[in-house]
Amino acid sequence: MKLKQAFVNGEPIAREAVQFELDRLVQFYVSHGMKPEEVRKNLDTFAKNAQEQAIGTKLMFDRAKELDIAVPEEMVDAKLLQVIQQLGGRDNFVKALAEQKTSEEQFRENLKSGCRVDMIVQQAVSEVPEPTEDEINQYYEQNRDKFVRDEQVLCQHILIKTEGLDAADKAEALEKIKDIRKKILSAGDAGEIGQAFSKAAADHSDCPSGRDGGSLGWFGRGMMVPEFDQASFSMKCGEVSDVIETQFGYHIILKTDEKAGGQLELTDVHAQLRDQLRHEARGRALDAFVAELREKATIEYR
């Protein structure tokens, strides 16, 4: 579905702004467990919501500009330093400015506008109370079915890619990973095997995780390709797998820990629920603030 162009007081909402909000929405839902097929099914709704959020952002920027709130230079300095660090240093920052055809002075002004919006948001939510223990307990009891932990494992792996290799090179890759596995197993006890595995991953793995000793973090069933998934959940902790072939190539896996599935208790999710309820309450306050701004604005869709 193609959205109509939105206008706020005669000014168009940039499609890039809508796309930015859409990307954030999708990322939010994926990080909270939404499957790719569900994302695709709800994409039209997400796009509409993203456009409305972009309109709200525009209204707040316009309100911030109208009020001309004084922004401390140290706040802008802190934001600028954060951006420079995220880009990997000043040289990369200067390069990014050149690519965007903007000056550092203009960039600082943009940051200052963003700070004004942040200050307006803080004002809008400043009187929102913290969630009470009764509210947290009640939400947990009414939604116990949402707080169930799937069985999870913690693994490291080493990958030797085989994509595009002919039979001879693929056979060579297989011998390479077999040799890596043999050397790891000859390292000694479990602790020494773990160290040897991490070093071998850093030295030989074709997966970016090699930089972290091959660590894949915690994952649940169905998150990896079937062959990898089956091996990971059938292994014992501390065990190094046989060579496993997937569509990506040859792997060996070291399983380091596991968590059984089951009901999460309130103590397990208390901090998460407090943050969630606080976020929802502040969201309602901010929605009410934006609704007031909308009433005074002319919103059109053409």
Same domain, 95 and 155: no
Q: Is residue 277 part of a domain?
A: yes
How confident is the model over 237-283, as pLDDT tens digits? Answer: 999 999 999 999 999 999 999 999 899 899 999 998 999 899 899 99
CA distance 204 to 210: 8
Pair 28, 104 in one domain: yes
Residue 33 pLDDT grade (very low, low, confident, very high; cuts 50, 70, 90): low
**DSSP notation for 255-295:** EEEEE--EEPPHHHHHHHHHHHHHHHHHHHHHHHHHHHHHH
Q: What is the domain extent for residue 292?
A: 6-131+271-301
Is there a single domain that holds both residue 125 and residue 224? Answer: no
- In the numeric block, which tokens belong to residue 256? 């380091």
Q: Are residues 127 and 21 in the same domain?
A: yes
Q: Is residue 143 part of a domain?
A: no
Please check whether residues 218 and 290 belong to one and the same domain: no
Q: Answer yes or no: is pLDDT of 1 > 70.
A: no
**Res. 9: pLDDT tops 90:** yes
Do the domain assignments include residue 139?
A: no
Total domains in the chain come to 2
CATH classification of the domain holding 178: 3.10.50.40
140, part of any domain:
no
148-161: average pLDDT = 94
Average pLDDT of the chain, as a whole number: 92
Q: Residues 21, 98: one domain?
A: yes
Q: In this structure, what CATH number is given to the domain that contains residue 282?
A: 1.10.4030.10
Residues of the chain above pLDDT 70, percent: 99
- Same-domain pairing of 120 and 193: no
Q: Are residues 225 and 287 in the same domain?
A: no
Domain contains 141: no
The SS3 assignment for 90 reads: helix
Residue 65: pLDDT over 90: no
For residues 62-89, average pLDDT: 89
Task: Looking at the structure, tell me whether residues 78 and 55 fall in a common domain.
Answer: yes
Evaluate if residue 150 carries a pLDDT over 90: no
With H, G, I as helix, E, B as strand and everything else as coil, classify residue 35: coil
Question: Does residue 24 lie in a domain region?
Answer: yes
pTM above the 0.75 mark? no
Q: Is 285 among the domain residues?
A: yes
Give Cα 155 to chain centroid, integer Å.
20
Looking at the fold, whether 163 and 234 belong to one and the same domain comes out as yes
Q: What is the DSSP letter of 143?
A: T
Give the CA distances from residue 107 to residues 64, 88, 100, in Å, rounded to whole numbers and listed in that order.
17, 17, 10
The answer to the question of residue 64 being in a domain is: yes
pLDDT of 29: 80
The closest alpha carbon to 225, from 254, 246, 242, 252, belongs to 246
